[in-house]
C-alpha cells in the first residue's frame, strides 16, 4: 500500500539527482527526506528517526560517490550501512552458564507472545545447546495462562513447574529449587504480561528478578509495535537488567521498525525472532537482514548490493569466460537471463548485460519483456541457439521463430542484433587493457559486475 | 486512566463536530497543556510549528500518510481563514480531527441487534491483541443490558484458549460452547449457532484464533467461518469486530485491509488503551478504509470496555505529550 508509494517516490528522488562526483548537501537532504518517511512508515520512533537521519547527514556530506553508483544510491548505501551498524552487526547469542544452572526470565506486555516464546526457547536450547530445560509458570493473572504453558510443555515434552495461583515470587523460588533437585540446567520463567506503567506489577517483576538472579532477562516485543515501543523498552530497561529482546510475529508483513527504536534506546541486542506459530519457529536474530527490511528499499539496495551475492560465482565466471571468447550464443543469453531472474525482477539489471543498455530505452523494458525474450529463444532449435548465424542469415527461420513464440519478427530481429552487438563488444573487450574496461564499467556496467569481471580476468590469467 | 470516563451516556447522540469545542474539554479534563504549551510558545504559525504538530501525530501512530494529509489541510485552512495567532489553531486542529474521523457521516457504533432472533458477533484479529479478553468483557456488558449471552470457543488452535474463554464464561455467568483443542473451528461455531438458536439465546459471541493477515490458509479458514455465519443468519448483517492492540503501528492498516477482505469488518475494538500507546492507527484506518472504532479496552477488569467516544479519544491524543 503506502509502502509502494514510498518506493516509487524514492525512485523519483533517485532519478532527480544523478551525475555528480560528490554528494552535495541538497542531494543528501532530498534523499534523507525520503529515508525519513520510509523509516517512519516502518514504525521507527519519531525521535530515533530524527537522530538517525541527522547523524547520517553529517556522515554523508562530502562523501565521494563510489564508482557505478549514482548519488542517490550512494546515500542509500550509507544509510543502510549505518542502519546495520546501529542494529548490531552480528547476531548475539544467549549467555548460557556452562556449568551451573542458567535462568532465563521472560518479560513483556500482554499479548506479546511470552508463553509461546518461552516454549520455543526451551526447545531451541535443548536442541542446540544440549541442555535439560524446565519451564516455570509464574503468570497467575491471565485466565488459563498456566494451562497454556502446560500444553506447550506437553507438546515439546518439556516439564512445567506450576503451583496454581499462588504468589508468583513463591512459585519462582520453589521452582528454582525444584529445578535444581531434578537436575535441570536451564530454567525459563514465564511471567504475566504487564503494562510498563503498572507500578505494582513492575515491582513484582523486579522482585522476581532479584530472587531468581537470571542470566538472561528477555523482553518480548511484538514486531508490529508502533511508536510506543520506545516507552515500553525504556521502562522495562529502567526497572530490570534487560540482556536481550525477542521480536515476535516477524512472519507477518510488518516492517518491524520497533526493533530499531528499541536497539537505539536501550542498546540491548535483539537475540531471537519468532517466525511462525509452530514451536520450532524461532530463529537467531540477524540484525543485517532487519536493517534492510526496516529501510524497505530492498529493491533499490539490490541494485547496489545483491548482484554478487545471489549469482553463483562459478556460473558467473564461466559466463564471463564465454563472453570474452566471443562465443556467446543464445544458450548463454538464456542462462544469463535466468540468473537475472533469480536476482529479482528488476529491469534495471538488464543494464548488466553488455550491449543491452544500447537497446531502445532500457528503462522502459518491463519484466514481461524479459519473458518475451525468453519465449523467442525457446522457439529456436537447439542448433540455432548454439549457432546464431543460422538465424541471422535466414528470414524463414526468423519467421518460424516469430510464429512459434507469438512475438513480431521485428522483436526477433532486435534480439538478434542485440546478441550480435554483444558478441562484437566482447571481441573488442579482448583487445582492451584492463584500465579501459574499468572505465567502461563505470558507464555501462553495475559495479559489482565489473568486480566480478576483474575476478574473472584474474582467474584466466589476465591479458 | 480518567480520560475515558463514561461520557458516552446518550448513545444515540449525534456526533457532530462543531459541538465539541476544545474549551469544553479543557474545563472538564484539566487542560490540553501540551498542545497549548506549544501553541503559546510559538510566536507565529510557521513550518517549525507544523513540524512540531506533525511529531505529535506521528508519535500517536497515526501514520505518515494521514498526518501529511492532515497537516496539508490544516495549512490550507490557516490560509483561507487567515489565522495568524497560533492559539487559534487549537480549535482548528480539534475540528479537523473530528472531520477526519467523522467524514460527514453520523457514526452509530451501537451493536446492531437482530430484533427477531439470534444476534451473532464475530471477533477477529492478529495474535495477542486481546480477542478472548474482549469477548469476556463484551459478554459482561451485554448481559448487564439484560440480554442472554453465549460464547463460542472458535479458537481451537492456541494452547489454553478454550479454557481461557471458559473462565470468562464462568466469571460472567454465561454458557460456553466448545470442543476439544485442535478441532475444526467452523464446526464448533456451526454447533454453537444451532445450540444458541435452540436455547433462544439473544447474543452469541464468537471467538476465533489469532492469525497474521498474510497467512493465506488461515484467512481462508476465517472466510469460511464468515460464510457459515452468513448462511445461518440468512445473510442478515451481523457485527464483525476487528480487535486491534493500541500499541500496533502501521501494520494496523494492513490488518484492517486484509481482514475486511475476508470478513465484513463492521467495527474496531481498540484494546490496551490504558497503557501509554495512543492507538492512532485507527484514525488512519478510518481515514483510508472507512472502518469506524466501536469499542475501546481500558483495563483488565470485566467492566473495562467502553463505547468509543471520539471526543475523549482526541483529548487523550494530546493530553500527555511533551511532558518533561
Residue-wise DSSP of A238-251: HHS---EEEEE-TT
**Ramachandran class of B164: left when φ > 0, alpha when ψ lies in -120 to 50, beta otherwise:** alpha
Distance CA A421, CA A423 (A): 5
Give the Cα separation of B69 and A198 in Å (integer). Answer: 36
Cell of A154: 506437553
Of A238, A269, A285, the position where a domain reaches its end is A285
Facing A145 at nearest CB: one of B59, B160, B212? B160
Distance from C-alpha of A325 to C-alpha of A430, rounded to nearest angstrom = 8
Cβ-based contacts of B167 with chain A (< 8 Å):
143-144
Q: Test A227 with B128 for CB contact under 8 angstroms.
A: no
Exposure letters A116-141 (e unless 16+ CB within 10 A, then b): bbbbbbbbbbbeeeebebbbbbbbbb
Confirm if B212 and B126 have CB atoms less than 8 A apart. yes
Q: Which residue on chain B is closest to A250 by alpha carbon?
A: B212
Among the listed residues B235, B266, B228, the one whose alpha carbon sits nearest the alpha carbon of residue B112: B266
pTM of the full predicted structure?
A: 0.75
pLDDT band at A69 (very low <50, low <70, confident <90, very high): low
Instruction: Round to whole Å and give the CA distance between A459 and A461.
Output: 5
User: Among partner residues A1, A142, A228, which is closest to B254 by beta-carbon distance?
Assistant: A1
Among A43, A110, A232, the residue with its CB nearest the CB of B250 is A43
**Within this chain, do residues A212 and A337 fall inside the same structural domain, yes or no?**
no
Q: What is the DSSP string of B166-229?
A: HHHHHHHT--EE---TTS-HHHHHHHHHHHHHHTT-SEEEE------TT-HHHHHHHHHHHHHH
d(CA B259, CA B268): 11
Distance, in Å, from the CA atom of A373 to the CA atom of A51, rounded to the nearest integer, reads 47
* Shared-domain flag, residues A165 and A69: no
**How close are the terminal C-alpha atoms of chain B, in Å?**
20
Question: Residue B249: which of A110, A155, A227 has the nearest Cβ?
Answer: A227
Question: Do A131 and A247 reside in the same domain of the chain?
Answer: yes
Residues of chain B positioned with their CB less than 8 A from the CB of A255: 250-251
Task: State which residue of chain B sits closest to A110, comparing Cα positions.
Answer: B128
Work out the average pLDDT over A272-287: 92
Q: What is the mean pLDDT of chain A?
A: 80
A125 to chain B nearest CA, in Å?
A: 21
The boundaries of the domain holding residue A316 are: 311-459
Lowest-confidence pick of A1-5, A266-270, A381-385, B135-139: A1-5
Q: What is the CATH classification number for the domain harbouring A373? A: 1.10.260.30
Do A222 and B128 make contact, defined as CB atoms within 8 angstroms? yes
Instruction: Report the C-alpha gap between A342 and A1 in whole angstroms.
Output: 25
**pLDDT at position A90, please?**
80
Tell me which residues of chain A, numbers 39 to 68, contact chain B at a CB-CB cutoff of 8 Å: 40-43, 45-46
How close does chain A come to B2, measured CA to CA in Å?
15
> Is it the case that residue B321 has pLDDT exceeding 60?
no
Cβ of B277 within 8 Å of Cβ of A196? The answer is: no
B214, A226: Cβ pair inside 8 Å? no
Q: How many domains are contained in chain A?
A: 3
Determine the Cα–Cα distance for residues A117 and A223; give it in Å rounded to an integer.
13
Q: Inform me whether the C-beta atom of residue A387 falls under 8 Å from chain B C-beta atoms.
A: no
Whether residue A244 is found in the same domain as residue A368: no
Name the residue in chain A with its Cα closest to that of B249.
Answer: A226
Is 90 exceeded by the pLDDT of residue B173? Answer: yes
The tens digit of pLDDT for each residue in B22-53 reads 323 333 333 345 677 778 888 888 988 998 88
How high is the pLDDT of residue A454?
61
**Between chains, do B276 and A249 touch, taking CB under 8 Å as contact?**
no
Q: Give the whole-angstrom CA distance, residue A182 versus residue A176.
A: 10
Tell me, yes or no, whether A97 lies in a domain.
no
Report d(CA A208, CA B233) in Å as an integer.
Answer: 50
Q: Per-residue pLDDT averaged across A322-329, rounded?
A: 69
Tell me what pLDDT residue B132 has: 96
pLDDT exceeds cutoff 80 at B14? no
Q: What is the pLDDT of residue A10?
A: 60
Residue pairs between chains A and B whose CB atoms are closer than 8 Å? 150
Higher per-residue pLDDT: B322 or A23: A23
| A113 in contact with B, Cβ within 8 Å | yes
Please report the pLDDT score of residue A171 as a whole number: 97
Percentage of the residues of chain A whose pLDDT score is greater than 70: 72
- Percent helix, strand, coil in chain B, to 5, is 50, 10, 40
The C-alpha cell of A249 is what? 510475529
- The answer to whether A32 and A40 are in contact (CB under 8 A) is no
Residues in A closer than 8 angstroms to B59, CB to CB, are 45-46, 227
Residue that is last in its domain, among A41, A59, A89: A89
State the Cα angle at A198 between A197 and A203, rounded to 5°: 110
Question: Which residue from B minimizes the CA distance to A225?
Answer: B248
- pLDDT exceeds 60 at position B294: yes
Identify the CA nearest to A42 among candidates A74, A83, A78. A83
Asked if residue A33 lies in contact with residue A75, where contact means CB atoms within 8 angstroms, the answer is no
A398 and A254 assigned to the same domain: no
Whether A306 is covered by a domain: the verdict is no
Q: What confidence tier does A332 reach under pLDDT thresholds 50, 70, 90?
A: confident
Taking only residues 319 to 348 of chain A, the set having a beta carbon closer than 8 angstroms to any beta carbon of chain B reads none
| Range with lowest mean pLDDT among A162-166, B12-16, B193-197 | B12-16
For A113, nearest residue in chain B (alpha carbons): B128
CA A167 – CA A144 distance, rounded (Å): 16
Question: Is A111 in contact with B159 (Cβ distance < 8 A)?
Answer: no
Asked if B247 and A253 come within 8 Å (Cβ–Cβ), the reply is no
Cell numbers 512459434 correspond to what residue?
A404
A395 in reach of chain B (CB within 8 A): no
Query: pLDDT higher for A457 or A237?
Result: A237
Please check whether residues A259 and A337 belong to one and the same domain.
no
- Domain assignment present for residue A438? The answer is yes
**Residues on chain A touching B277 (C-beta within 8 angstroms):** 226-228, 231
Q: Is A2 in Cβ contact with B250 (below 8 Å)?
A: yes
Non-local CB neighbours of A274 within 8 Å, separated by 6+ positions: A113, A116, A117, A120, A246, A247, A248, A249, A250, A251, A281, A282
Q: Are residues A168 and A66 in the same domain?
A: no
Closest CA in chain A for residue B209: A277
Element (H, E) at B151: strand B149-152
Q: Is B284 exposed, middle or buried (0-12, 13-18, 19+ CB in 10 A)?
A: buried
CB A416 within 8 A of CB A391: yes
Q: Kindly report the nearest CA distance between residue A104 and chain B, in angstroms.
A: 22
pLDDT band per the 50, 70, 90 thresholds, residue A105: very high
Q: Which three cell numbers stand for residue A197?
A: 506503567
Predicted confidence (pLDDT) at residue B121 exceeds the cutoff of 90: yes
When comparing pLDDT for A301 and A253, which is higher?
Answer: A253
Predicted confidence (pLDDT) at residue A434 exceeds the cutoff of 80 = no
8 Å CB contact of B160 and A141: no
Taking only the tens place, the pLDDT of each residue in A162-182 is 999 999 999 999 999 999 999
Q: Is A293's Cβ below 8 Å from some Cβ in B?
A: no
CATH code assigned at A16: 1.20.120.140
Please answer yes or no on whether B127 and A113 come within 8 Å at the CB atom.
yes
Q: How far apart are CA A65 and CA B148, in angstroms?
A: 71
C-alpha to C-alpha distance for B198 and B117, rounded to whole angstroms: 11
Q: Please, are residues A88 and A263 in contact by the beta-carbon 8 Å criterion?
A: yes
A258 CB within 8 Å of a chain B CB: yes
Which CATH code fits B17-102?
1.20.120.140
Residue at A359 is within a domain: yes
Inter-chain touch A143–B252, beta carbons under 8 Å: no
Q: Minimum mean pLDDT among A113-127, A368-382, B113-127, B285-299: which range?
A: A368-382
Residue A24 in any domain: the answer is yes
**Secondary structure letter of residue A138 according to DSSP:** E
In a domain, A304, yes or no: no
Predicted pLDDT at B12: 35
Region A42-66: mean pLDDT is 86
User: In the structure, what pLDDT confidence band is assigned to residue B183 with cuts at 50, 70 and 90?
Assistant: very high
Residue A297 domain-assigned (yes or no): no
Give the burial string for A41-71 (b: 16+ CB within 10 Å, else e): bbbbbbebbeebbeebbeebeebebeebbbb
Contacts of A33 in chain B (CB under 8 A): none
- Examine the pLDDT at A366 and tell me if it is beyond 80: no
Same domain, A120 and A74: no
What confidence tier does A460 reach under pLDDT thresholds 50, 70, 90? low
**Helices in A325-387 by DSSP H: which ranges?**
330-343, 367-378, 382-386
Do A255 and B250 make contact, defined as CB atoms within 8 angstroms? yes
Nearest-by-Cβ selection for B249 from A43, A147, A231: A43
Same domain as A343, residue A265: no
**B272 vs A145: CB contact, 8 Å cut-off?**
no
* pLDDT above 80: residue A9: no
Q: What is the mean pLDDT of residues B64-83?
A: 92
In this structure, are A417 and A321 located in the same domain?
yes
- Domain co-membership, A144 together with A232: yes
Task: Return the CATH architecture of domain B119-307.
Answer: 3-Layer(aba) Sandwich (3.40)
User: Given a cut of 90, is residue B129 above it in pLDDT?
Assistant: yes
Residue B154 has pLDDT above 80, yes or no: yes
**Distance separating alpha carbons of residues A226 and B252, to the nearest angstrom:** 9
Lowest mean pLDDT among A415-424, B89-98, B298-307: A415-424
Of A44, A62, A89, the last residue of a domain is A89
Q: Per the domain annotation, does A94 fall within a domain?
A: no
- pLDDT tens digits for range A208-266: 999 999 999 999 999 999 999 999 999 999 999 999 999 999 999 898 999 999 999 89
At A16 the pLDDT is 60
Contacts of A143 in chain B (CB under 8 A): 163-164, 167-168
Residue B164 with chain A: CB contacts under 8 Å: 142-145, 148
CB of A249 within 8 A of CB of A273? no
Judge if A128 and A65 occupy the same domain: no
Determine, for residues A42 and B65 on separate chains, whether the beta-carbon distance falls below 8 Å: no
- Locate CATH 1.20.120.140 in chain B: 17-102
**Mean pLDDT (whole number) for B182-202:** 96
Q: Where is average pLDDT lowest: A257-271, A349-363, B166-180, B282-296?
A: A349-363
Amino acid at each position: 500500500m503506502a509502502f509502494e508509494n514510498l518506493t516509487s517516490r524514492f525512485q523519483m528522488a533517485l532519478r532527480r539527482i544523478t551525475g555528480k562526483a560528490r554528494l552535495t548537501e541538497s542531494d543528501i537532504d532530498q534523499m534523507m527526506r525520503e529515508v525519513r518517511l520510509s523509516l517512519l512508515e516502518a514504525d521507527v520512533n519519531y525521535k530515533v528517526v530524527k537522530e538517525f537521519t541527522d547523524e547520517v547527514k553529517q556522515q554523508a556530506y562530502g562523501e565521494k560517490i563510489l564508482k557505478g553508483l549514482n548519488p542517490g544510491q550512494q546515500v542509500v548505501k550509507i544509510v543502510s550501512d549505518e542502519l546495520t551498524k546501529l542494529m548490531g552487526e552480528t547476531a548475539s547469542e544467549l549467555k548460557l552458564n556452562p556449568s551451573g544452572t542458567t535462568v532465563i526470565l521472560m518479560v513483556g506486555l500482554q499479548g506479546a507472545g511470552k508463553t509461546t516464546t518461552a516454549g520455543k526457547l526451551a526447545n531451541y536450547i535443548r536442541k542446540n545447546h544440549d541442555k535439560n530445560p524446565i519451564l516455570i509458570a509464574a503468570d497467575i493473572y491471565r485466565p488459563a495462562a498456566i494451562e497454556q504453558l502446560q500444553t506447550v510443555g506437553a507438546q515439546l515434552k518439556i516439564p512445567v513447574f506450576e503451583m496454581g495461583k499462588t504468589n508468583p515470587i513463591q512459585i519462582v523460588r520453589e521452582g528454582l529449587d525444584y529445578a535444581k533437585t531434578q537436575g535441570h540446567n536451564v530454567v525459563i520463567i514465564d511471567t504475566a504480561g504487564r503494562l510498563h506503567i503498572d507500578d505494582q506489577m513492575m515491582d513484582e517483576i523486579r522482585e522476581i528478578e532479584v530472587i531468581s538472579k537470571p542470566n538472561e532477562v528477555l523482553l518480548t516485543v511484538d514486531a508490529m509495535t508502533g511508536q510506543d515501543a520506545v516507552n515500553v523498552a525504556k521502562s522495562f530497561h529502567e526497572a530490570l537488567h534487560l540482556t536481550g529482546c525477542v521480536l515476535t510475529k516477524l512472519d507477518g508483513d510488518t516492517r518491524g521498525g520497533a526493533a530499531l527504536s528499541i536497539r537505539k534506546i536501550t542498546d540491548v541486542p535483539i537475540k531471537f525472532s519468532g517466525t511462525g506459530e509452530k514451536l520450532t519457529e524461532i530463529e537467531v536474530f540477524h540484525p543485517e537482514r532487519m536493517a534492510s527490511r526496516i529501510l524497505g528499499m530492498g529493491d533499490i539496495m539490490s541494485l547496489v548490493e545483491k548482484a554478487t551475492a545471489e549469482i553463483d560465482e562459478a556460473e558467473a565466471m564461466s559466463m564471463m569466460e564465454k563472453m570474452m571468447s566471443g562465443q556467446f550464443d543464445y544458450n548463454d543469453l538464456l542462462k544469463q537471463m535466468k540468473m537475472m531472474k533469480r536476482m529479482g525482477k528488476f529491469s534495471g539489471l538488464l543494464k548488466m548485460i553488455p550491449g543491452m543498455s544500447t537497446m531502445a530505452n532500457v528503462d522502459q523494458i518491463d519484466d514481461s519483456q524479459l519473458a518475451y525474450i525468453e519465449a523467442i529463444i525457446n522457439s529456436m532449435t537447439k542448433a540455432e541457439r548454439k549457432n546464431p548465424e543460422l538465424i541471422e542469415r535466414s528470414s524463414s527461420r526468423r519467421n518460424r521463430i516469430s510464429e512459434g513464440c507469438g512475438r513480431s519478427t521485428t522483436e526477433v530481429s532486435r534480439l538478434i542484433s542485440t546478441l550480435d552487438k554483444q558478441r562484437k563488444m566482447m571481441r573488442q573487450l579482448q583487445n582492451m587493457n584492463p584500465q579501459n574496461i574499468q572505465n567502461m564499467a563505470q558507464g555501462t556496467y553495475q559495479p559489482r559486475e565489473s568486480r566480478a569481471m576483474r575476478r574473472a580476468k584474474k582467474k584466466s590469467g589476465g591479458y | 486512566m480518567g480520560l475515558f470516563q463514561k461520557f458516552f451516556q446518550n448513545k444515540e447522540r449525534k456526533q457532530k463536530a462543531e459541538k465539541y469545542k476544545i474549551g469544553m474539554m479543557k474545563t472538564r479534563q484539566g487542560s490540553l497543556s501540551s498542545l497549548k504549551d506549544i501553541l503559546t510558545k510559538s510566536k507565529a504559525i510557521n513550518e517549525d510549528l507544523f513540524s512540531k504538530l506533525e511529531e505529535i501525530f506521528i508519535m500517536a501512530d497515526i501514520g505518515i500518510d494521514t498526518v501529511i494529509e492532515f497537516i496539508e489541510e490544516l495549512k490550507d485552512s490557516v490560509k483561507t481563514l487567515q489565522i495568524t495567532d497560533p492559539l487559534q489553531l487549537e480549535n482548528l486542529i480539534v475540528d479537523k480531527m473530528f472531520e477526519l474521523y467523522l467524514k460527514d457521516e453520523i457514526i452509530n457504533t451501537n451493536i446492531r441487534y437482530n430484533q427477531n432472533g439470534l444476534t451473532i458477533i464475530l471477533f477477529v484479529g492478529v495474535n495477542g491483541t486481546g480477542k478472548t479478553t474482549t469477548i469476556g468483557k463484551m459478554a459482561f456488558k451485554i448481559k448487564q443490558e439484560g440480554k442472554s449471552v453465549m460464547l463460542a470457543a472458535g479458537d481451537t488452535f492456541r494452547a489454553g484458549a478454550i479454557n481461557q474463554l471458559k473462565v470468562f464464561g464462568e466469571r460472567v455467568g454465561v454458557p460456553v460452547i466448545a470442543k476439544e483443542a485442535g478441532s475444526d473451528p467452523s464446526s464448533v461455531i456451526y454447533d454453537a449457532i444451532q445450540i444458541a438458536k435452540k436455547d433462544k439465546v439473544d447474543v452469541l459471541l464468537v471467538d476465533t484464533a489469532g492469525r497474521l493477515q498474510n497467512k493465506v490458509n488461515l484467512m481462508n479458514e476465517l472466510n469460511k467461518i464468515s460464510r457459515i455465519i452468513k448462511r445461518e443468519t440468512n445473510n442478515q448483517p451481523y457485527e464483525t469486530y476487528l480487535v486491534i492492540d493500541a500499541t500496533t503501528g502501521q501494520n494496523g492498516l494492513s490488518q484492517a485491509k486484509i481482514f475486511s477482505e475476508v470478513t465484513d469488518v463492521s467495527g474496531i475494538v481498540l484494546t490496551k488503551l490504558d497503557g501509554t500507546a495512543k492507538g492512532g492507527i485507527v484514525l488512519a484506518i478510518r481515514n483510508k478504509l472507512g472502518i469506524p472504532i466501536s469499542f475501546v479496552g481500558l483495563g483488565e477488569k470485566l467492566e473495562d470496555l467502553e463505547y468509543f467516544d471520539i471526543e475523549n479519544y482526541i483529548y487523550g491524543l494530546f493530553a500527555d505529550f511533551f511532558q518533561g
